[in-house]
Structure 1
Amino acid sequence: MFTGRLCRAAALSRARISSRPVALPFVRSAYRSIVTTRYTTDHESVVFDTETGVGTISITDYAQSSLGDVVFVELPNVGTTVNQGDQIGAIESVKAASDIYAPVSGIVEEINKELDDKPGLLNKVDDEKGWLCKVKLSNPSEVEGLLTADAYKAHCESEGSS
């Protein structure tokens, strides 16, 4: 008897040989990770992974374009306990300086050390390099209280019209 991927591969082979449709077996993963991105009205975002319990904090594209070229980034120390809404750092650009606020509560597990030498990475569209810090959430339900992508877009549009 085939199991897992072998079973699926065997069913696919039968489907190619047969002219009739073949029902493919459903293989359930041992882990189901959900990754959610949410936003704050202060223009921070958090990408939360339910499997790891870690949220990756960044500033939004709206914030990046408003700030202009980033010249300095101050981040919290690894191991720092933060509460939702706490100031956790600052960003200075050629146009302005702006505080960074924690979108969620937890313990800072990692900071983006590349920003020390290359603060301009925040101006890149690539989220893989332009993140600020990673926080192990102490209260994952806080993510649900943040803005969805549509709600954040509406917030930015209303901010731009005022």
Structure 2
Amino acid sequence: MIRFLTLLLSLASLGWSLPAAAAVTMSFHSFNGSVLLGRYPHTFVVLQGTLDSTGQAVNENYGFTAKSVSTRILSGPVEHDISIEPPKYITSTNRHFSVKLTDAQYNQVVAEMKAWRDAPGKYYSLDSRNCIHFVGRMAQIVGLKVDYPQNMLRKPKKWLNHITGLNPQLGAKPIG
């Protein structure tokens, strides 16, 4: 009996010393924007954590934007880019909700970002392919319900609040 208890305690202590499961978290952010401050409303995703399969640290963020801001944006598609935000900017944004990714989902998010980034020609359209559509695609990859009401296509914060409402399983609340 003593041997059994010793073995049981040894096995239990091994379980306690195992490292915590790794994971990458994707957070969905919006920025209110201000023409006076030179930043327009925007939405993007932040990926942080560690890949389960390799232990690789992940600290990335992606947003979809026009390569240059001008009045041409109002008249049709323009050249596009993926924006990477500095850490100090991220802390001043609204984090609406976060989800855990599997390694496969993380790889799919990165592949999708590259497809948007590397698409030839003029791919950014204020009304049909903007930062909201990009972030919506990232949300779909992780199984979230997404739609694009016309009256929200230029209002990232309002749109992410809408997505929060479509996905009650997130346990998130709209941001005021």
**The TM-score by the shorter chain falls in which range?**
0.3 to 0.5
Higher strand share: 1
Question: Structure 2-normalised TM-score?
Answer: 0.30
Question: Structure 1-normalised TM-score?
Answer: 0.32
Higher helix share: 2
